[in-house]
Amino acid sequence: MAKSPSTRKRVIRASSPTGENEILPIPAARRNEPKPVEEDRRPSSEAITLHAYYLWLGRGRPMGTDWDDWLEAERQLAASA
């Protein structure tokens, strides 16, 4: 059984106009210093979780206030950072 011809086109890459393979120059070293990365000042998820838990305990452990406690903990920790 003969193989059917492939439907993919074969790409032929041309070399440089002179017929030789072209060697690209290596870029020069960076002349200016990179900008310092600003520290992320958002509280971590772990810190928010722990703070929200203590808020929840302080409020008497009410049911269904997880989002309220999370958002309040996030707001308080962001304000103190």
* 50 and 44 Cβ atoms separated by less than 8 Å: no
- Convert the pLDDT of each residue in 12-66 to its tens digit: 555 555 556 666 666 666 666 666 655 667 899 999 999 999 999 999 999 999 9
Give domain status of residue 36, yes or no.
no
Provide the number of structural domains found in the chain.
1
**Any domain includes 65:** yes
- Give a yes or no: residue 30 inside a domain: no
* pLDDT at residue 75 in the model: 95
Does the residue 21 lie in any domain?
no
CA distance 28 to 41: 35
pTM: 0.51
| Closest to 42 in 3D by CA, of 4, 80, 3 | 80
At residue 41, the pLDDT reads 77
Name the residue range of residue 70's domain. 45-80
Residue 56 lies in a domain: yes
Please check whether residue 14 lies inside any domain of the structure.
no
